[in-house]
Amino acid sequence: MKHLSPLEQIIEEAARELRQAARHSVPPPIDDRARSRIPSGWLVFATAFAVVILAMGLIPLLSGPGEPDGTLAEPTPSVPPVTTGIDVVDTTTTSIGSAVDDVCSATGLAVPGDQEGLPEPVAQTRKAIAEAAVDCHIDALGRLAGVGPNGRDGPELVTSFGGGGFMNIVEWEDDGEEPLELIVKLLDTPYAVQDYEELPTHYYWPSAFVYDSWEEIPPADLDALRTVYTQEELDQIAGFGSYAGWRIGITEDGEWRFFVAGD
């Protein structure tokens, strides 16, 4: 018999266990021949037995709630009443959750290096966002997004055109959608500058966002997207006609304004 190394043993055993679990997760097709082997007398008996059991269970329900002496029972509250004020959390303020997690989707990623040509406020915010994400420091990230006790006075970060602001990032991270990893990877792509008539100049990552059509995106900027997306994802985005994927926008004053996808 072949001798397996400890490593091979782990992988072989795991595969066996997984194969077995996967098999059981798919209900076997009903075999008509097997069904016909069940004696019909047993089916009649089983049905009658089930009817009796159901009827016994329904009797107390039909007679209504009450104690043995006939008085009505107190309904069980679904939420325990608050007895002291100590544990009451003010839900009217933004609660970001744990300040620092040991691990998150950006754990182990490197903070992207400096990029040439960025104004100092933009470069500082970019670095601070990446550092907070890599450190899984949700509170610090929230402050940069304009929420929390030390957040800026300006408008909150836009993460969805349907609303939700920074808390979307917290929820997405909790749901395993890895926004922090995405933020770090986006900030490591080339950037582009966009001037507006009535808005401050914005700096965008990735640069692909500022091109009107997919065909105009330079090959080097497209290659940079491959560090963020799979080919399948890129094909889907390309199908839209221009880059409408995730992008990060920071104003020339260093305000983090966008982490959003879509048109």
Partner 1 sequence: MPSRDQGTPGVESFEAFYRREYTRMVAIARALLRNGAAAEDLAQESFVTAHRHWDRIGAYDDPAAWVRRVLINRATSFQRRLGAEWRAVNRLGARADETTVPDLTPQTTEVWEEVRRLPRRQAQATVLHYVDQLSVEEIGAVMGCSSGAVKSHLHRARNRLGERLQDWDEEAR
Q: Footprint of partner 1 on this chain (CB under 8 A)?
A: 2, 4-8, 10-12, 14-19, 21-26, 101-109, 136, 173-176, 178, 180-181, 223, 226-227, 229-231
Identify which of residues 51 and 110 has a Cβ nearer to partner 1 in the complex. 110
Q: How far is the CB of 116 from partner 1 (least distance, A)?
A: 24
Q: Which of 242, 221, 137 is nearest to 183 (CA)?
A: 137
Which of residues 3 and 37 has its CB atom nearest to partner 1 in the complex?
3
174-211 burial, b at 16+ Cβ within 10 Å, e below that, comes to eeeeebbbbbbbbbbbbbbeeeeeeeeebbbbbbbbbb
Contacts 24+ apart (CB under 8 A), 219-224: 220/190, 221/189, 221/190, 224/189, 224/190
Instruction: Write the CA distances from 125 to 113, 151, 226, 253, integer angstroms.
Output: 13, 13, 24, 9
CB of 115 to partner 1, least distance (A): 20
Shortest distance in whole angstroms from residue 178 CB to partner 1: 8
Find out whether 133 and 184 touch, Cβ atoms under 8 Å.
yes
From the CB of 143, what's the least distance to partner 1, in Å? 20
Supply the minimum distance, in Å, between the C-beta of residue 134 and partner 1.
Answer: 11
- Closest to partner 1 by CB, 13 vs 212, is 13
Q: Which is nearer to partner 1, 118 or 182 (CB)?
A: 182
Whole-angstrom distance, CA of residue 169 vs CA of residue 180 = 8
Q: Which is nearer to partner 1, 26 or 62 (CB)?
A: 26
Q: Return the structure tokens found at 168.
A: 């979307």
